Chain A
């Protein structure tokens, strides 16, 4: 027991007191900044495991630059200020060379000032609302033009939807995405009164009235489509209510941006067949890389029923790109790696190649899948790779903005006044 106490105390001193500059580095440290407790643990724990798997695999291949990788896992506990604190700890105490992490926008915004101040490097794997390009962040998830806009195009062109219900959880991603969509739909000639918007709290479970409202939208004879940015657990109640109300995908299709294989595993999907989701990756994609990835994941986690999802692919691409960029730069120095990241290419799991742009966003294909009875998605539409757009073209304030870290050296460049609005992000 006393030995145990000693190790604990030693670890405490090591973790909190010393600046780790004192330690000699014989490994390359990779920070994993995902919540393992609290409300977001439901989504983020999977990503932590993904990172551990990727790092383990890379180490089996001999590591990077001849050194082994070492994962430093911390738990920001779904507490947004804690994200900033843990990021600072990772960068200054553990001296990590790169971080993979965050899920919600607010956690990213919390971390941004810290990594920009300390010149860290973060790979952010989740689809998000855009309107941001930080020098120190690589966004491997989808920007709105890689998920929301193609999905709405699909609605307009393939399903002939004329009336839109934008349902979202009340936070920044749905808010901004819906703003962009509203503006885009108006450009496409959809009248303002044909766009119904509703926001619900996190974890909302009482959906009967909202579903009834959506059904009632059909009363003026236009085809109604639902665009759902409902987050996490709340989807379960929503889809259950949808199924109970007998809303079939033929009558009122629902396209979701936050529902993937992981979320569907908490549901009986037999009543939801035909509803849609838009992502850059589906587990059902047919490619040898994907088969290998799924097999490795199941083996790593020791559960044959576990599923893979889009943010996992984002981490897969992001991690491998980082490894290649480090090998190319010959160092883990953030500035050198960042420059090596531009134009970095890596095969998608869905076939094709992802390319990292100079605005720090990936170019990826957009897939639209229909929910199947077994909780998987049937991919019914896929586009050519779409480059991620940091600043959307469909809102007047951001249409004039551009991000290019290579030539313009600016993440928020106003093309009208030809000046860089700011080098650091606005958080």
Chain B
């Protein structure tokens, strides 16, 4: 409190010399000190304007430092400075007007100003004036970004001036586009605006639609009579009871506009009755009988007749009222020429947008399919080829992901750590797979359903062990920076690089699997052992060794998949159980024992899920539910999957 008083005194002292009033930027700041301290978007604009229009050479510096949260306020006198951090607890403090260092002080004596992002946007918008012609290209880009977010009519002339002087072609193009956008919104004449619109015919940018759509906003209105008033730029006339406007909504509009009496709601009726209980009855109806709508209506009618309650609108009156008025949507934009032009341009955009959305959805589906495929490919080997139901498959995926995390803890460089993590994950899960095969699964080849139980036991044990080691919190597995961001074809079609990487990885695995099974000796032996172990062993193949290697391989691939999945989603001990059921279904739907089947299965599930999501965008859970229901039904009709093995290979 004392601090504020003292500051106020100081402020008075400062402003007491009228001749020097606001000669320095500090004085401008002090003049708006309260609003700057309050730091609210609602009230800050005058302060920003004052700084921008002060004409001080330090104005851009103030705005930039303020935006970057480098502007601090000295607690004792309320003066503003900009600072650079000096060690943990100290600040190197600079004066705005002279841009010179004042000294190094402890943080304790200063408060940081923290403009929120709303205020920062306003500051950035004010800075445009200074930055648009800045020699530094990155600052010009900043200015353009601010303009795109928060342009206003005042920016239009500045921008037009800047275009002429812009040396860089890329930035100039951006500027021209922005100029067109701003012209659509703030252009002086209708013709100018319409002309600007034509620039965007068929344009897919969100910003173009964002500029055009507001022109077409409508207000729903009602007017007496049967004709729409002439001064209205009509968007559509509405018929009460039609699709757009229900009769109830239409009548509510009339009530809201005080053009008709309100209708009686059930609770209004009850309250009215309750207020008029006389000697245990209402309008001649005993209170005890008022437990049916009919009795209440009777009582209310009696009250109406007696004039104790206002009469409510009857159905006939509602009909008459609706017929006596005209309902319509009117454009907020007055000029019909402008709205027509905007409509034309938007129509030209819409079809393209729809097509691109379809492409984007396809990409999403492909990406999801590749994730399912990646999660399932190890299973395609252990379950599809060997027939082993490995419920711990998900936990192998999890082990791979945790291996990635551990490697990243040791090797801080993300690129190197991923390159190391992939073979490491393979090695770890390969070893785990081999151990499990040797210790458990090989005893159970004749009892496939019991492998399910035993591996389930392994699964819950592994999951809990992971929890005991790594804790229950999700662990970060960060992708290298070259996998950050997305590949954007336009504002609609885009896919993140990490998903592309997963897609590529899935393709590599597919190729690897095909090569392994068709071209290598191990593949040949694996196929021989799974088809007929006794015959294979009489041909000199060691089935134990082959089973062990194949199972290890399948597990190893699951480990690599784990690294990829961990990169795009999360690393927790429950990571694996999220994928296990889906993976089994992928393999079964596709057809056991055939990698192409698994691929088709993953593709089908991915596309199906995205398709259902598209129909019902607000509920992703429903998409998953219906996808599984679909799979259940699908299997009824193709019990052996999309690609069914025929002949002896089918086993039974």
Interface residues on A, range: 35 or more
Find out whether the CB atom of B214 lies under 8 angstroms from the CB atom of A221. Answer: yes
Q: Cβ of A265: which chain B residues have Cβ within 8 Å of it?
A: 473, 476
Whether A241 contacts B496 by the Cβ 8 Å rule is yes
Does B536 sit within 8 A of A, measured CB to CB? Answer: no
B157 CB, min distance to chain A CBs, angstroms: 22
B211 → chain A closest CB, angstroms: 6
Cα of A199 to Cα of B619 in the assembled complex, Å: 5
Q: Verify A221–B211 contact, CB threshold 8 A.
A: yes
From residue A247, how far is it (CB to closest CB) to chain B in Å?
Answer: 10
The reply on B266 being an interface residue by CB < 8 A is: no
Q: In chain A between 217 and 258, which residues have their CB closer than 8 angstroms to a CB of chain B?
A: 218-222, 233, 236-237, 240-241, 243-246, 249-251, 253
Contact A246-B485, Cβ < 8 Å, known A157-B42, A201-B621, A205-B569: yes
Does A197 lie at the interface of the complex (its beta carbon under 8 Å from any beta carbon of B)? Answer: yes
Q: Is the interface of A mostly helix, strand, loop or mixed?
A: mixed
* Given A158-B40, A209-B610, A251 and B149 contact (CB-CB distance below 8 Å): yes
Whether the Cβ atoms of A199 and B618 lie closer than 8 Å is: yes
Contact with A along B546-559 (1 / 0, CB 8 A): 00000000000000
Interchain CB contact under 8 A, A208 and B364: yes
A336 CA / B597 CA spacing, docked (Å): 68
A330: B residues at CB distance < 8 A: none
Chain A residues in 8 Å Cβ range of B467 = 37, 41
Are B620 and A237 interface neighbours, CB within 8 A?
no
Interface contact A237-B568, CB-CB below 8 Å: yes
B146 → A minimal CB distance (Å): 9
Which B residues between 458 and 477 are near A, CB-CB below 8 angstroms? 464, 467, 471-476
Neighbour of B497 across the interface among A203, A212, A244, CB < 8 A: A244
Contact in complex: A266, B206 (CB < 8 Å): no
Given known contacts A158-B116, A219-B209, is B474 in contact with A245 (CB within 8 Å)?
A: no
Q: Which of A2-10, A144-152, A267-275, A340-348 lies at the interface with chain B?
A: A267-275
- Tell whether A216 is near chain B: CB-to-CB under 8 Å: yes
Known A39-B574, A212-B364, A236-B569: A159·B117 in contact at CB below 8 Å: yes
Please report the C-alpha to C-alpha distance between residue A14 and residue B484 in the assembled complex, in whole angstroms. Answer: 57
Chain A contacts for B624, CB-based, 8 A: 201
Contact across chains for B618 and A240 when beta carbons are under 8 A apart: no
Q: Is B303 in the interface zone, CB < 8 Å from A?
A: no
Assembled-state Cα–Cα distance A262/B472 (Å): 11
Secondary structure type dominating chain B contacts: helix
Across-interface contacts of B237 in A (CB, < 8 A)? none
Q: How many angstroms between the C-alpha atoms of A271 and B485 in the bound complex? A: 10
Contacts of B368 in A (CB 8 A): 206
Question: C-beta contact mask, A389-414 vs B, less than 8 Å → 1, else 0?
Answer: 00000000000000000000000000
Q: How many A-B residue pairs have CB under 8 A?
A: 155
Q: Indicate with 1 or 0, residue by residue over B206-245, a CB within 8 angstroms of chain A CB atoms.
A: 1001111110010000000000000000000000000000
Contacts of A313 in B (CB 8 A): none
> Is B617 an interface residue, CB under 8 A from the partner?
yes
Docked CA distance A198–B472 (Å):
27
Contacting residues, chain B, for A17 (C-beta < 8 A): none
Q: How far apart are the CA atoms of A306 and B455 in the complex, in Å?
A: 34
With both beta carbons as reference points, the residue of chain A lying nearest to B213 in the complex is identified as A220
Q: Is the CB of A42 within 8 A of B496?
A: no
The answer to whether A271 and B572 touch (CB under 8 A), given A42-B474, A250-B117, A266-B475, is no
Q: Binary interface profile of A, 185-218, with partner B (CB < 8 Å = 1, else 0)?
A: 0000000000011111101111011101101101
Contact flags B469-492 to A (C-beta < 8 A → 1, else 0): 001111110100000111010011
Which residues of chain A are within 8 angstroms of B382 by Cβ–Cβ distance?
none
Of A196, A219, A267, which is in contact with the most chain B CB atoms at under 10 Å from its CB? A219
| CB pair B492 A216 closer than 8 Å | yes
Please tell me if B494 contacts chain A, counting CB pairs below 8 Å. yes
Chain B residue nearest in CB terms to A35: B472
Given A158-B40, A212-B494, A216-B492, is A205 in contact with B570 using a C-beta cutoff of 8 Å? yes
Size of the B side of the interface (Cβ < 8 Å), in residues, is 65
What is the distance, in angstroms, from B366's C-beta to the closest C-beta of chain A? Answer: 11
In the docked arrangement, what's the CA distance between A265 and B472, Å? 12
Q: Which residues of B contact A208 (CB under 8 A)?
A: 364, 367, 495-496, 499
CA distance A216 to B205 in the complex (A): 10
What is the minimal beta-carbon distance from A187 to any residue of chain B, in angstroms?
A: 15
Given A209-B613, A266-B473, residue A219 in contact with residue B568 (CB < 8 A) = no
Q: Are B474 and A216 in contact (CB under 8 A)?
A: no
Interface positions of B from 542 to 600, Cβ below 8 Å from A:
565, 568-572, 574, 578
Cβ of B399 < 8 Å from any Cβ of A? no
Q: What's the Cα separation between A274 and B621 when bound, in Å?
A: 30
Give, as a whole number of angstroms, the nearest-CB distance from B359 to chain A. Answer: 12
A146 → chain B closest CB, angstroms: 20
CA distance A292 to B425 in the complex (A): 41
User: Are A233 and B364 touching (Cβ within 8 A)?
Assistant: no
Q: Which of B121, B488, B565, B618 contacts A250 (CB 8 A)?
A: B121
* CB-defined contacts of B212 to chain A, threshold 8 Å: 221
Residue B139 lies at the interface, judged by CB distance under 8 Å to chain A: no
Question: Is A160 an interface position by the 8 A CB rule?
Answer: yes
Say whether B639 faces chain A, with CB atoms less than 8 Å apart. no
Nearest CB to that of A208 among chain B residues? B364
Cβ-defined partner of B120 (8 Å) among A199, A203, A250, A381: A250
- Which of A196, A205, A221: most chain B Cβ within 10 A? A221
- The answer to whether A37 and B464 touch across the interface, beta carbons within 8 angstroms, is yes
Please tell me if the beta carbons of B572 and A157 are within 8 angstroms of each other in the complex. Answer: no
B330 interfacial contact with A, CB 8 Å: no
| Minimal beta-carbon separation of B546 from chain A (angstroms) | 35
A220-B484 contact, Cβ under 8 Å, with A42-B473, A203-B574, A237-B568: no
The verdict on B118 contacting chain A, using a C-beta distance below 8 Å, is yes
Q: Which among A41, A274, A381 has the greatest number of chain B C-beta atoms within 10 A?
A: A41
CB < 8 Å: which of A37, A205, A262 contacts B578? A205
Write the chain B residue with the least CB distance to A220. Answer: B213
**B25 interface contact, C-beta 8 A:** no
Q: Is the CB of B118 within 8 A of A220?
A: no
| Pair B484/A244 contact, Cβ less than 8 Å | yes
- Would you give the 0/1 interface string for A135-172, flagging 1 where the beta carbon is closer than 8 Å to chain B? 00000000000000000001001111000000000100
B495 and A158 form a contact (CB under 8 A): no
A266, closest chain B residue (CB): B474
User: Distance (Å) between the CB of A272 and the closest chain B CB?
Assistant: 12
Tell whether, in the assembled complex, residue A370 and residue B570 are in contact, meaning their CB atoms are under 8 Å apart.
no
Q: How far is the CA of A358 from the CA of B373 in the complex (A)?
A: 56
- B155 adjacent to chain A (CB < 8 Å): no
Q: Out of B118, B360, B473, B485, which one reaches A158, CB within 8 Å?
A: B118
Query: Among B486, B495, B499, which residue has the most Cβ atoms of chain A within 10 A?
Result: B486
Closest Cβ neighbor of A44 among chain B residues = B472
Given contacts A197-B618, A220-B210, A221-B213, contact A206 B371 (CB under 8 A): yes
How far does the Cβ of A47 sit from chain B's closest Cβ, in whole Å? 12
Please pick, from B120, B206, B496, the residue contacting A219 in the complex, using a CB distance under 8 A.
B206
B322 within 8 Å of A by Cβ? no
Given A218-B206, A219-B206, decide whether A250 and B149 contact each other with a Cβ distance below 8 A: yes
Residues of A within 8 A of B120 (CB): 250
Cα–Cα distance between A158 and B39 once the two chains are bound (Å): 9
| B318: interface (CB < 8 Å) | no
**Which residues of A have CB within 8 Å of B83?**
none
Please, what's the 1-or-0 string for B363-389, where 1 marks a CB less than 8 Å from any CB in chain A?
010011001000000000000000000
- For the A-B complex with A212-B360, A244-B485 known, give 6 more contacts whose Cβ atoms are closer than 8 Å: A205-B569, A240-B569, A244-B484, A266-B473, A266-B474, A268-B476
A-B contact pairs, 10 of them (CB 8 A): A41-B472, A42-B474, A154-B116, A206-B371, A209-B610, A210-B617, A237-B570, A244-B485, A266-B473, A379-B114
4 closest residue pairs by CB, A with B:
A266-B474, A244-B496, A205-B569, A220-B213
| A residues adjacent to B (C-beta < 8 A) | 37, 39, 41-42, 45, 154, 157-160, 170, 196-201, 203-206, 208-210, 212-213, 215-216, 218-222, 233, 236-237, 240-241, 243-246, 249-251, 253, 262-263, 265-268, 271, 274, 370, 378-381
